[in-house]
Amino acid sequence: MPEKVCMENVAIVLHDTRVPENIGAAARAAANMGVGELIVSAPRTLDMERILKVATHSASGLVETMTVCKTLSEALGPFNWIVGTTARLGGTRRVNTCVADLAQKLIPISSENRVAVLFGPEDRGLTNEDLRLCHDLVNIPTAGFSSLNLGQAVMIMCYELFKARNRTPEFHIPRLAGRHELENMYEELKETLALIHYINPENPEDRLDKARGFLSRYQLRAREVSIVRSICRQVARYGDQCYRAGQAAGATDGPKRQEPES
C-alpha cells in the first residue's frame, strides 16, 4: 500500500485567474512541495514576465511547462479525481473542512490516478457549475476573514498533501474513470432521465445535481461508467420500442367506420 500522496500525480489547476503574480506564487508553492504539474484555465492575463518574477528560479521549470487551457472542462478532462476549493459553506456544498483528512483520502487514490486540486478566481472563487465537476470539496478554515490569498491557499493544500502519511492500511484503489468519461455519462443520464420524465428537460440541473452528488460518493471506474451508460441506452431503446408499438396500435385500432343508416 502507498505510504504517502504521490505528488507526481497531483496537479494544481488555477481557473479564471485575474493576477499573473498569483500564478507565480502558486507555482512557487507547488514546486516547493513537489507537485508535478501546473494548469492554468482561462486566465484573464498571462504575462510570463510578471509570473516568473514571483515564481523565482526554483519554480521556473513548473511555469515553463505549465498547460494553458481555454476552458475548465478541457483542463480537467484528463483527471480521475478532482478536489475543488471553496471559501463558501452551506447549501448544496458538501465541504470537508479538514484538509488533513482529505490528504489521507488521496493517498491510495493518487497511487494510480491523476488528481487535480482546483482553485477559482481571486474575487469570487469557483461557481456552483464549476464545483459540479469535482469529486470532493474542501474549505481551509480561518479565524475570521475567510478569503485567503491564492498563493497562500495553494501552499496550505500542497503542504498538507506533502506531509500526509498512512495511519492505517488502505485498500488498493485502481485507475478511476476520467473526467471526460464521467461527463459523457452524466450527459447520457440527463437525456435518459428527461426521456422518462424524471427531470424537466427545460430545467434539469436540480435533480441532476442530486444524481451527481450520489454517484460522486463512489469511486467509479471506467467499466462501471460504461455499465451506467449501457443501462441508459437500453432504457432509451426500450422507450422508443414502446412508443413505436403504441403508434402502430393506434393506427390499427383507429376509429371504426360508421355504417350508413338504413
Range of the domain at 59: 7-163
151 and 190 share one domain: no
Instruction: List the one residue out of 48, 50, 117 whose CA is nearest residue 79.
Output: 117
CA distance 78 to 113: 10
Using the 3D structure, point to which of 97, 129, 163 is the last residue of a domain: 163
Cell of 102: 482529505
The CA distances from residue 225 to 81, 134, 205, 243, in Å, are 14, 16, 20, 27
159 and 218 share one domain: no
Instruction: Please indicate whether residue 261 or residue 156 has the higher confidence score (pLDDT).
Output: 156
pLDDT of 121 strictly over 90: yes
Task: Return the percentage of the chain with pLDDT > 90, whole number.
Answer: 45
Q: Which pLDDT does position 262 carry in this prediction?
A: 44
Instruction: List the one residue out of 116, 113, 107 whose CA is nearest residue 85.
Output: 116
Q: Is the pTM of this model over 0.85?
A: no
Range of lowest pLDDT (19-28, 48-57, 193-202): 193-202
SS3 234: helix
Range of lowest pLDDT (9-13, 30-34, 78-82, 173-177): 173-177
CA distance 142 to 62: 29
pLDDT of 123 strictly over 60: yes
State pLDDT tens for residues 197-243. Answer: 888 777 777 777 777 777 777 778 888 888 888 888 888 888 888 87
On whether residue 203 sits in a domain, the answer given is yes
158 and 235 share one domain: no
Average the pLDDT over 85-113 and give the result: 82
Instruction: List the one residue out of 6, 55, 18, 12 whose CA is nearest residue 156.
Output: 12
82 and 149 share one domain: yes
